[in-house]
């Protein structure tokens, strides 16, 4: 595979599925739109049919035609890249065919559930306990991210100034300390089909007060209409609390179930990639699949 550079990133768009077909696509659109840094590798830079898109936030997506014969030889190079090792990166399948194509290259496989935002189910407001107050996130708050909150979401936008320019969100303050947040890690997509990658979290000492839910309700009520998402992927900064049991507690967000091809997710790390001697199996898999595919005569 060859790297697709900035002037040609728009060619990747047609390989990106709609949010109903695959999750985390906002993180690919964010690369194409120049909102966030990323590295994209394709089979043909002039007319890509197969691609790996690495958002430097830790999310990578396999797009288009499943080509294990091209992916396998790349893995030794990929696991040494600074942008991949800086943020633990998982590779997600966007088409069912990618899961069996990638499976031989990794020792461990993951899966995910997806959630959707239904604005009509969101209450007008959700209060916070005495001593807390809601506030829109800005550059000043992003620069002094609260203790116990993961600064990942500020980091992936490129720092506080870029976060304030391109993102938005709601925080909960206790005195002057930021203790809970609901904000976007990415928000992009096709017109009318925008997907949002949402980060929700509460500092450990302030949990069990409904703060994340209050921040989420306020957030969804203040999303600019032009950027209102049709779908959300929720990331919970809640250690010990699973996404499955936590997400439905956010009003307006409902679980749509486990995507059948999402099981093809794998972490791209030196410990999870199989021994380099087995990486040529991709070419064997691809050749076998091609030979067994039905052919049509003219």
Q: What is the DSSP string of 218-275?
A: HHHHHS-GGG--SEEEEEEE-TT--HHHHGGGSTTEEEEEE-TTGGGBEE-STTTBPP
Confidence at residue 115, expressed as pLDDT on a 0 to 100 scale: 61
Alpha-carbon distance of 291 to 34, in angstroms, equals 39
Question: Is 0.85 topped by the overall pTM?
Answer: no
Considering the segment(s) 2-112+261-292 as one domain, its CATH architecture is 3-Layer(aba) Sandwich (3.40)
Instruction: Report the distance separating Cα 237 and Cα 190, nearest Å.
Output: 28
> Mean pLDDT, 10 residues at a time, over the chain (298 residues)?
93 88 84 94 96 92 93 89 86 86 83 61 72 95 90 92 93 94 88 82 90 86 63 48 40 49 58 60 47 42
The pLDDT value recorded for residue 56 is 93
Secondary structure (3-state) at 54: strand
> CA dist 226 to 52, 220, 277, Å?
29, 13, 50
The per-residue pLDDT for 3 is: 95
Is beta strand 38-42 parallel, antiparallel or unpaired with respect to 50-55?
Answer: antiparallel
Q: Which listed CATH number (3.40.630.30, 1.10.10.10, 3.40.50.2000, 3.30.70.260) goes with 115-258?
A: 3.40.630.30
| pLDDT for residue 94 | 85
Q: Hey, do 2-112+261-292 and 115-258 end up sharing a CATH topology, with the first three levels equal?
A: yes
pLDDT at site 175: 92
Where do the structural domains in the chain lie, given as residue ranges?
2-112+261-292, 115-258
pLDDT value at residue 35: 92
pLDDT of residue 102: 87
């Amino acid at each position: 595979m060859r790297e697709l550079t900035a002037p040609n990133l728009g060619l990747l768009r047609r390989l990106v599925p709609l949010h109903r077909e695959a999750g985390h696509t906002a993180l690919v659109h964010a690369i194409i739109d120049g909102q966030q840094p990323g590295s994209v590798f394709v089979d043909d830079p002039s007319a890509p049919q197969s691609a790996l898109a690495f958002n430097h936030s830790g999310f990578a997506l396999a797009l288009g035609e499943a080509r294990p014969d091209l992916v396998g030889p790349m893995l030794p190079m990929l696991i040494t890249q600074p942008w991949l090792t800086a943020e633990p990166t998982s590779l997600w399948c966007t088409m069912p065919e990618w899961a069996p194509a990638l499976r031989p290259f990794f020792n461990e496989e993951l899966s995910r559930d997806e959630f959707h935002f239904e604005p009509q189910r969101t209450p007008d407001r959700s209060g916070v306990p005495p001593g807390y107050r809601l506030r829109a996130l800005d550059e000043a708050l992003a620069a002094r991210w609260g203790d116990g909150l993961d600064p990942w979401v500020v980091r992936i936008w490129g720092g506080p100034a870029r976060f304030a320019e391109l993102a938005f969100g709601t925080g909960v303050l206790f005195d002057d300390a930021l203790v809970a947040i609901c904000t976007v890690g990415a928000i992009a997509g096709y017109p009318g089909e925008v997907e949002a990658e949402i980060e929700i979290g509460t500092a450990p000492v302030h949990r069990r007060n409904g703060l994340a839910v209050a921040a989420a309700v306020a957030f969804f009520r203040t999303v600019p209409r032009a950027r209102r998402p049709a779908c959300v992927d929720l990331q919970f900064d809640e250690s010990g609390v699973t996404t499955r049991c936590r997400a439905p507690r956010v009003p307006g967000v409902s679980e749509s179930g486990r995507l059948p091809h999402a099981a093809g997710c794998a972490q791209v790390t030196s410990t999870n990639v199989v021994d380099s001697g087995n990486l040529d199996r991709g070419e064997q898999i691809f050749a076998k699949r091609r030979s067994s595919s039905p052919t049509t005569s003219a």
